[in-house]
Amino acid sequence: MKLNNLFLCTLTLLTLMGCSKGDTEEPVENKPVNQAPSIPILISPPANLECAYTSLNFEWNFSIDPENHEIEYKLEIAEKSDFNSLLFDIVIIDNFKSLNLEEGKTYYWRVLARDENQAESSYSEIWALFTEPKLTYNSIPQQAASENPVNNSNVLQGSVTLQWSCSDEDEDPLKFDLYFGPENPPTLYQQDLENPSYEVNLESNQTYYWKVVATDPQGAKSIGPTWTFDSN
């Protein structure tokens, strides 16, 4: 009888201990999964814009975070749409960024949003833009002016060095085509001269005509007047 009572007491004690332990355990909380911000929507520059200027302001809508976390944005700009090589990789808390680009280029840009727990949205759409090449103004070379021999002068037979002067407002290097001979208009005598002078042989008692055409590296030309002289 005593053994039965002892067994019942032990069983009751174990049962009470088990219940007491279960009552003191705290329930496990199921923490919500952090959600990424919404995908940014691009605003400016508009898609496929042809820009006459290179200082541009990139802008997009603010993203919304479901948990109201702080958001930062990752702006990427590349010259190819695969974005394997980035020209700009900028992290910013604002929804805009001003940048200076190069002339005569095609650019692609996109943005993603990231919250303070590093949850990232998908990338925005990819928009392209084009910057126009630099517009240049090229001046035509001035007409050549004869220096030797003087127009309508007489020179001794044998040879004479034809000399002229010519300038270019852009200070481009010039090349000269020399037209020379006893006929008027004179025919091409020497081409692509780099110096403004050339020696020619003369016959006696002959009238000669000559002129110079100046050309700059861009192909702009000026045609000089026709000069004449007589050889004695």
Q: Where are the domains of the chain?
A: 42-131, 145-231
pTM: 0.52
Q: What is residue 190's predicted lDDT score, i.e. its pLDDT?
A: 96
Amino acid 97 reads K
Distances from the Cα of 192 to the Cαs of 70, 148, 163, 174, 177, in angstroms?
69, 20, 15, 9, 6
Q: What is residue 15's predicted lDDT score, i.e. its pLDDT?
A: 52
The CATH topology of domain 145-231 is: Immunoglobulin-like (2.60.40)
Which residue from 225, 182, 190 is spatially nearest to 207, judged by alpha carbons?
182
Show pLDDT as tens, one digit a residue, over the chain (232 residues): 444 554 444 545 555 555 444 455 566 567 788 999 999 999 999 998 888 788 999 999 999 999 999 999 999 999 999 999 999 999 999 999 999 999 889 999 999 999 999 999 999 999 999 998 877 778 899 999 999 999 999 998 899 999 999 999 988 999 999 999 999 999 999 999 999 999 999 999 999 999 999 999 989 999 899 999 999 8
Beta strand 145-148 pairing with 175-181: unpaired
CATH number of 42-131: 2.60.40.10
At 16, which helix (H) or strand (E)? helix 2-24
Instruction: Write the Ramachandran bin of 104: left for phi over 0, alpha for psi from -120 to 50, otherwise beta.
Output: left
Which residue from 67, 68, 132, 57 is spatially nearest to 100, judged by alpha carbons?
57
CA distance 40 to 232: 88
Domains 42-131 and 145-231 share a fold: yes
